[in-house]
Chains A and B, each alone.
Chain A
Amino acid sequence: MDVLTDNLDDFAAGLWVTTRLVGAAFLVAVVLGTLVAALRVSESRPLRSVGGLYVETFRNVPLLVLLFITFPGLRRGGVDINAWTAGIIALGLYTSAYVAEVLRSGVAAVSQGQREAGLSLGFGQVAVLRRIVLPQAFRTVIGPLGSITIAMIKNSAIVGASIVALDDILKEARVVNSATFQTTEAFFWAAVCYLLLTLTATAAFRGLEARYAIRR
């Protein structure tokens, strides 16, 4: 217990860093994921293949490799990117592929008649997707989006553990560990911090689901 109370500031700071990292990356992932899902359900074959290529690439690349590309990789190439941006982009890109896949299945679950009705009312393709199909698709995939978010909270530890200079929960645990040599306690409290985040996310998505979900 001492390990926690003596280093409360460190753990709290780490928790806050992880929260911000996950929050920002979640936004990136949802925006990109929605765009890619739109590509994947479009009428045009080339656009569909571009979307497919995107998903297959970012779903199959290890996050650690992406992080090495976005941080030291781009910096060596003369791009002035900071640790935060690199971490958020890598985690966001990685997760966006999963979001795109989930949303695509959500779009498939919206009945074809909805789309046709929209088109016959004079909406364009994009407007139908944006105003009619996607809002319903989002509401069917709240559950899976929750699992993706939880996976993302856990994956955020990879960002802190690799070279990106972000002092997230895991990084703080390592700092506490090297200061106190209480390995088990330091990592136990770090695990509790992650659990706090995942449980909060679970509760939040349960709430959203109860309020907005369309059950099919």
Chain B
Amino acid sequence: MGYLFDPDNWEWVVTENNLGFLLEAFLINLQIAVIAMVLALAVGLVLALGAIARPAPVRLAAKAWVDVFRNIPLILLILYLALSQPQSVRDFWSDSAPGFLPDALRSEFILAGIGGLVLYNSAVLAEVFRAGILSLARGQREAAAALGLSYLQQMRHVVLPQGLRRMVPATVSQLITLNKDTTLVSIIAIQEVVRSGRVLAGTAGNPFTGSGVAAPILHVMIFVGLLFVIANYALSRLSRRLETRESRRIATVRTAPRVSEAPPA
């Protein structure tokens, strides 16, 4: 306990630019998370639609794809993609990555990292979406079909808005998991916050070269953990906010006088 609270061991926080160095690296995690989230949500939606599609081959293929990638440990996927990607892919990215990207996102392994995150999370999200869509009463879709909407129109205007809204909590908790999982790319040498923390502590493979204080890894990692707790707590709070607002909105619709909604006779 003495070791943990000894102010000397926390000195690295205020030494030189250590704090800025860590926070900048944490920003990389958030960027990777946002990119992977957007892609995973989009791919997940396509997979979910595939898994409920009418043609059997499409349905079976989508389901098999989802089941495979949902059941493989994410870190195994990321490592495999990083180790097996051909030299041409590496060269392609290091040559053509736009210059405005931070160094970490121009790493030759970033495609493997983000690719793994998207493959895994899109499969998990596809299951979440599929459950949301299937939880809707069949009548909704049949009514839409009876109104003459095409399949895509039924999905876009009737099924998805309701089905996905129900799945907001499950989706957000998966996005929190994704946010945590961005630390896994440190294992394929992408300079994000865990790796930067290890650099500060001098355990990243290279000896500590900074002129400041070599930080104790325990304290660095507690600090990094705190950053994630704050970010993810904010995310879960946001989702709870959305939920209560949503349920209040639905409640008002339900209790509103029906007469005004009735079509003119």
Residues on A facing B (Cβ under 8 Å): 56-57, 59-66, 68-69, 72-74, 76-78, 150, 153-158, 161-163, 170, 173-174, 177, 183-184, 187, 190-191, 194-195, 198
Contact = CB atoms under 8 A, between A and B. Distances in A.
Contacts of A198: 71
B180 A60 contact: yes
Contacts of B217: 68, 72-73, 76
Interface in B228-247: 228-229, 231-233, 236
4 closest Cβ pairs, A-B complex: A73-B218, A157-B73, A60-B232, A62-B180
Interface in B60-93: 71-76, 79-80, 83-84
Given A60-B180, A60-B232, A61-B180, A191 B76 contact: yes
Nearest to A155: B73
A109 B104 CA distance: 47
A198 B73 CA distance: 10
A77 B3 CA distance: 6
Interface in B186-242: 186-187, 194, 197-198, 201, 203, 216-219, 221-222, 224-225, 228-229, 231-233, 236
10 contacts: A61-B228, A62-B228, A64-B194, A68-B217, A72-B201, A73-B216, A76-B216, A161-B184, A187-B80, A187-B83
B250 interface: no
Nearest to A150: B71
B237 to A, nearest CB: 10
Given A60-B180, A77-B218, A173 B194 contact: no
Given A64-B186, A76-B216, A194-B72, A187 B79 contact: yes
A154 B221 contact: no
B191 to A, nearest CB: 15
Contacts of B71: 150, 154, 194-195, 198
B73 A154 contact: yes
A64 B183 contact: yes
Main secondary structure of the interface of B (DSSP, over half): helix
A190 B76 contact: yes
Contacts of A60: 176, 180, 228-229, 231-233, 236
Q: Which of A76, A78, A195 has the most CB of B within 10 A?
A: A76
Interface of B: 3-4, 71-76, 79-80, 83-84, 176, 180-181, 183-184, 186-187, 194, 197-198, 201, 203, 216-219, 221-222, 224-225, 228-229, 231-233, 236
Nearest to A71: B217
B184 A64 contact: yes
Given A69-B218, A69-B222, A57 B229 contact: yes
Contacts of A61: 180, 225, 228-229
A158 B75 contact: yes
A91 B219 CA distance: 20
A57 B225 CA distance: 9
Contact of A174 (B79, B216, B229, B236): B79
Nearest to B3: A77
A157 B80 contact: no
A21 to B, nearest CB: 13
Nearest to A195: B71
A59 B229 CA distance: 8
Q: Which of A57, A62, A66, A174 has the most CB of B within 10 A?
A: A62
A65 B224 contact: yes
A170 B233 contact: no
Contacts of A155: 73
A178 to B, nearest CB: 9
Q: Which of A63, A64, A190 has the most CB of B within 10 A?
A: A64
